[in-house]
Structure 1
Amino acid sequence: MAEVELAELLCMEEKVWQALVEGDAGADAALLAPDFVGVYPDGIAGRDAHAGQLSDGPTVERYALGMARVVPVGGDHAMLIYRARYRRVGAVADEVMYVSSLWQRHGGTWRNIFSQDTPEGSGVP
């Protein structure tokens, strides 16, 4: 995929993270497909659960994304893979996750249809 698509997908992914920082469940849900599936260290969640975590406000204080790359998956799909360093609200230390985020272009915009987070140091080479 072209470098511009990497920048575009990274921008979309940052909007998801910014929704977590702002506690904006509506913005979060708007970026996720209705049938979104997230696979996390503590379980599997759909779009409603992902956005629902913001019902009490922000869940992330700050974040930084790096090591991003795009893997083409087919016509209107692309996998964004990156490293996220972030701090949860109320935490005293940062956490690091490696994220695989599958995006689908629909009607000229991208929507996230799948995401999987792997904690750094989980034994995966």
Structure 2
Amino acid sequence: MSTERIAFFIALETCVWQALTLGDVKAYKALLAPEFLGVYPSGFASLAENLTPFEQAPGFAPSYVLSEARIMELAPDLVMLSYKAVFQRVADAQAKAMYVSSLWRRQEGGNWVNIFSQDSLANAGTNEK
């Protein structure tokens, strides 16, 4: 897979993270499909449920690092981006790591939207599944 293609999807994902850290609900909604589904350690979340944190102050600190990115081309207009995120919640004293897989779909007109995301907290120092 070309590094330019990976960089393109990391840039999209970075826009999602940026919207989260800035509390920019308009930008966030523009990046996620209306039928978006999130699968998190806390359970399932629709787009509406993902918007709830925006009613409060941003929950994520603006410093985060996305690395180890890879993509899978599932169809001409459907791409799975998987990566490691190191991030810090505003309320936490310590950074955490998680692995994220996000499914991006190209819309008519060429825009890409995120239709699915699954986050898995990283187990430090283990290869447990």
Q: Same fold (TM over 0.5)?
A: yes
Q: How does 1:48-87 map to 2 (within 5 A)?
A: 48-61=48-61, 62-87=63-88
The aligned counterpart of 2:113 is 111
SS in 2 for 1:60: coil
The aligned counterpart of 1:45 is 45
The aligned counterpart of 2:89 is 88
**Alignment pair present for 1:98 and 2:110:** no
CA positional deviation for 1:118: 0.7
Distance 1:5 1:111 in 2: 16
The aligned counterpart of 1:35 is 35
**Normalising by the residue count of structure 2, what TM-score does the alignment of the two structures yield?**
0.91
* Alpha-carbon RMSD: 1.3
More strand by share: 1
The answer to whether the Cα contact below 8 Å between 1:9 and 1:110 also exists between their aligned partners in 2 is: no
Moved over 6 A (4+): none
User: What is the aligned length?
Assistant: 124
Q: Spell out, residue by residue over 1:83-116, the C-alpha distance to the aligned partner (whole angstroms, 9 max, x if none).
A: 0000001210011100010000112111000000
Unaligned runs of 5+ in 2: none
SS in 2 for 1:57: coil
CA positional deviation for 1:49: 1.3
Q: Which moved more, 1:100-109 or 1:3-12?
A: 3-12
Distance 2:24 2:83 in 1: 23
Distance 1:33 1:26 in 2: 13
**Identity over the aligned pairs, expressed in percent?**
42
The answer to whether the Cα contact below 8 Å between 1:77 and 1:104 also exists between their aligned partners in 2 is: yes
The aligned counterpart of 2:15 is 15
Distance 2:82 2:54 in 1: 24
Unaligned runs of 5+ in 1: none
CA positional deviation for 1:39: 0.0
SS in 2 for 1:111: strand
